[in-house]
Amino acid sequence: MAGKKLSGAEIVVEELKKEGVEVAFGIPGGALLDFYEALQQAEEIRHILMRHEQCAAHAADGYARVSGRTGVCIATSGPGATNLITGLTNANMDSSPVVALTGQVPTSAIGSNAFQEASTFTITMPITKHNFLVTRAEDLPRVIHNAFYIANTGRKGVVLVDLPKDVQASKVEVELHPEETFPGYKPNINPNKVQTKKAAEVLANAERPLILAGGGVISADATEELRTLAETLGAGVVTTLMGKGAIPESHPLCLGMAGMHGRIYANRALNECDALLALGTRFSDRLTGWQLDQFAPDATLIQVDVDAAEINKNIPVDIPIVGDVKLALSDILKWLKKESIREGSVWLQRVKEMHSACEECIKDIRRPGSSVSDILIKELNNLLDDDTIITTEVGQCQMFAAHYYMTKKPRTFISSGGLGTMGFGFPAAIGAKVAAPDKQVVDIAGDGSFLMTCHDLATCVENDIPVVVCIFDNRYLGMVRQWQELFFDKRYLHTNLGITPDFIKLGEAFGCYAERVEKPEDLKSALKNAFESGKPAVLDMIVGKEDKVLPMIPPGGGITGMIGTERCRRV
Amino acid sequence: MQTRVISLLVEDNPGVLTRMSGMFTMRGINISSLTVSPCEKPGLSRMTVTIEASESELEKVRKQLSNLIEVIKVVDLKEHDAIIRDLCLMKVHTKNVEARTEVMQLAESYGAKIADASFNSIILELTDEPERIERFIELMKHFGIKQLFRTGITAIARD
C-alpha cells in the first residue's frame, strides 16, 4: 500500500483494521474529531459510545479478559484521558491486554496549558506496560503495530498511544503494516529445559504436591495442561482470585480460592504441601497472608512466570522457571511421562476429602449460620449455567462470589484483582457481553460499587447490551463496615450509605428491566424475568445489613489463622 | 546497603529518562549519580546509574529495568571488573601565596589540571575513580572549596 497519502487518523484506523479490531469503547472530543471521521469509514470496527471514560477502559478490559483479544478504548485529551487512568491501572495490574488511544492538543500547543491539555504521556507512564506520544504521522504504522504486539505478548498489559490533533490531521505517504518491533522487547516465552526437568522431578517425588494457579494460567490458555498435570500427579489445585476458572471448581482435586477470603482448605493445603507449583501468580499479600512462615513452610517452591521480574519478588523460590505457563506445563508433562507416578496416595485422599467438605458447604444452601449474601451466591450456582460470565464489583459482593461461586470454565469469572476497583464489574460486564453476546453476563455488585459507574446503563440500553446487574443491597460500604465491626469496635464511620437511590426507579429511568428481590426465594423468578426481558436488567437484592464475609484471615494474620470457620466441617 | 553501578543501553527517545528514573522512584530508591550520553550506536544512549541498594533490591530493579521496552541492555557493573570514572571541577580559595603553592602542588600530585586561576581562587579539574576524588576533595576542604561540580559516575566493563 506504499505511495498512498493518508491522514494520521486514517493510518491509525488502517492499522486497527489490520490488527483485527472489531470493537472499540470510547467517547469523542475536540482532540479526536479527525480520528472519529476516519473511524466512521471503517465498517469493520464497531464503536460503542460510553458515558464515562473510566467505563470505556473497564469495558475494554472486560472484553479482553473474556475474549483473550486486545481490548481498545478511546478518550479525548485532558479530562478524557485522566478519566481513563483508573481503568487503565486496573487492566495493567491484572495483566489484561488493552490498547488506549487518546487525543492530545496539537504538538505546537503541548506544554502550554492549552484547553483540555494534560500530559497524558507522563501521567500514564507508571500505569502502563508502555506508552507513546506520537509527534509525526510517519511513525504511526510502527507505533500502532507495536502497541498491539506489546499489549498482548509476554506479560500482557496496557499500551497507551497519545495522538496530537495535528498528527491525526496531517497527510503523509507511508508504508502501512510494518513488521518491525523494538530491539529492547523480547518476551521470554520458552522455559529452560533443565529447570522444567528439575520441577518434574520434584513434583514426581513429592508426597503432598499442590498447584497454585494464578491468572497467568488463564491468560496463557493453559487450563487443559493444568488439569492434565493435576490428574497425572494426583496434586491438589488451589487458585488465586485471578486464577478462578483455571480448573472447574467442581473438580475433585480443586480446593478453590486461597488467601484472605479464600476457602479454609485451600489455605490449609498451602500450609501442608511439600511441593508447590505456582503458575502465573505474583504471590500478592491477599494470597499469602502476612505470616509468611505459615505459607508452604515445608514445600519446595517452583514458580513459573512469563515475567522474570515476578520471580523471587514476594516469596523466595527454589526452582524459578521464566516462560509461558502453557509451554512450561507441556514440558513438565513430557518429563513426567518418563517418571513413574504413584497412585492413590494418602494426600490424594485428603485433597478429595477437603474438596468434599467445601462442596458440601456450598451445596447446603441454607446451612445454619449462613447470611443472606451467602445464600444468594449459593443459589446462583444452581440458577446460572456453566457458560455464564460473572463479573464482580469490589468488596463484600466480590468476596462472597469468589468464595461461594463455583466457576466452571476459564474466562467466566472477571474481577478486579490487583487494584480492587469499585465500579469495575458493571462496565466490565458490558465488555464481556460484547465479546460473548451469546452468553449470559451477570455483574455481582454492591450498592456502593454500582453507584460509581451506573450511568453506563445508558450505554447498555442504547447499544442493546443486556447484562444483568445483581446488586447486593445492604446500604453500606460493606467490606469497610465489616472491618469496622471486627477490628474498630463497630464504629461505622462514613460507611452507611443511607436510603437513596431507589434502584428500581434508577434502572427504569434508564429503560432497563428492574425488580427487587426481597428474599432469596424470589431470586429464581427475578433472574428468569431479567433474562426473558431481553433488556439490561437491575436486580435489587436485599441482603443483611451486617452480613459478613467469613471465614477470613484477619489483617496481619497467616493462612492457618482464619477466623469465622465455625460452619466448616473439620477434615 | 552498598553502592551499585548500573549501566544501561537505551533507545534515545524523549521520556526514556523519566521512565527509567520512575522505576527507582516507585521503589523509593534514591539515584545518587546519573550520566547519560550518546554511544557508538546511532539512535542509542548509554546511562550509568549509581544507587545505594541491597543485593535483592538490585536484583529487582535490574529485572524491572530490563522490562522497560526502550531499555535494550542492563548490566550491573562490579567494581573489580569495570573502569569507573568521575569528573570533578572545583573552585578553591587561595588567599595567599602559600596556599596557592600548596594547592598547586597537591593538584599536581593527584594529577588534577588547573583549568583556570584568579587572584583569589583556582579552578581544578580532576578525572579519576570516585574514591580518589573524594580524597582530593577532603584535602582541598582545608583551603576552602567555593564551589564543587561533579559529573557523576560513568563506567565501562573490562573484557
CATH fold for domain A193-354? Rossmann fold (3.40.50)
Nearest Cα residue to A486 out of A550, A533, A568: A550
Residue ranges of chain B that CATH labels 3.30.70.1150: 83-157
Distances (CA, A) of A547 to A453, A496, A519: 24, 14, 14
Chain B residue numbers with beta carbons less than 8 Å from the beta carbon of A307 are 67
* Residue pointed to by grid coordinates 523519566: B18
Determine the residue of chain B that is closest to A134 in CA distance: B14
ipTM value, please give it.
0.90
Run of H or E residues at A206: none
The question of whether A115 is a catalytic residue gets the answer yes
The question of whether A53 is a catalytic residue gets the answer yes
| Cis omega (within 30 of 0) for bond into A28 | no
Measured CA to CA, the distance from residue A259 to residue A522 in angstroms comes to 32
> pLDDT tens digits, residue range A397-445?
999 999 999 999 999 999 999 999 999 999 999 999 999 999 999 999 9
Q: Is B63 on the interface with A (CB under 8 A)?
A: yes
Nearest C-alpha of chain A: how many angstroms from B98? 54
DSSP state of A243: T
Beta strands in chain B (DSSP E): 2-11, 31-38, 44-53, 71-77, 82-93, 113-117, 121-128, 145-150, 154-157
Nearest C-alpha of chain B: how many angstroms from A209? 28
Task: Flag if B72 and A183 touch (Cβ within 8 Å).
Answer: yes
Measured CA to CA, the distance from residue A54 to residue A520 in angstroms comes to 32
Window 302-321 of A: residues touching B by CB (8 A cutoff) are 307-309, 311-313
Other Cβ atoms within 10 Å of A212 Cβ, number: 29
The question of whether A116 is a catalytic residue gets the answer yes
Nearest Cα residue to A551 out of A403, A395, A338: A403
Q: Is B12 on the interface with A (CB under 8 A)?
A: no
Nearest C-alpha of chain B: how many angstroms from A308? 7
Run of H or E residues at A473: strand A468-473
For residue A337, the model assigns a pLDDT of: 74
pLDDT at A4 over 80: no
Q: Do domains A5-173 and A365-542 have the same CATH topology?
A: yes
Query: What are the backbone dihedrals phi and psi of residue A539, each rounded to the nearest 5 degrees, phi first?
Result: -110, 120
For residue A220, the model assigns a pLDDT of: 98
Chain B residue numbers with beta carbons less than 8 Å from the beta carbon of A150 are 69
Among candidates A130, A309, A312 on the partner chain, residue whose Cβ is nearest the Cβ of B64: A309
Q: Is B116 on the interface with A (CB under 8 A)?
A: no
pLDDT at A344 over 80: no
What number is the average pLDDT over the span A362-374? 94
Measured CA to CA, the distance from residue A474 to residue A503 in angstroms comes to 12
Tell me which amino acid residue A319 is.
Answer: I
pLDDT at A341 over 90: no
Task: Flag if B14 and A312 touch (Cβ within 8 Å).
Answer: no
Among candidates A150, A184, A312 on the partner chain, residue whose Cβ is nearest the Cβ of B72: A184
For residue B120, the model assigns a pLDDT of: 92
For residue B80, the model assigns a pLDDT of: 82
Residue ranges of chain B that CATH labels 3.30.70.260: 2-77
What residues contact residue A245 under an 8 Å CB cut-off, 6+ apart?
A: A218, A223, A239, A407, A408, A409, A410, A411, A412, A413
Best mutation target among B16, B44, B67 (most A Cβ atoms within 10 Å) is B67
CATH fold for domain B2-77? Alpha-Beta Plaits (3.30.70)
Architecture of the domain whose range is A365-542: 3-Layer(aba) Sandwich (3.40)
* Residue pointed to by grid coordinates 546497603: B1
What number is the average pLDDT over the span A254-259? 98
Measured CA to CA, the distance from residue B19 to residue A543 in angstroms comes to 47
The CATH classification number of B83-157 equals 3.30.70.1150
Chain A residue numbers with beta carbons less than 8 Å from the beta carbon of B60 are 309, 313
Domain coordinates in residue numbering, chain A: 5-173, 193-354, 365-542
CB A384 within 8 A of CB A408: no
Chain A residue numbers with beta carbons less than 8 Å from the beta carbon of B22 are 125-126
CATH class of A5-173: alpha beta
Task: Flag if B15 and A133 touch (Cβ within 8 Å).
Answer: yes
Q: Give chain B's residues under pLDDT 70.
A: none
Determine the residue of chain A that is closest to B63 in CA distance: A309
Grid cell in block for residue A378: 449459593
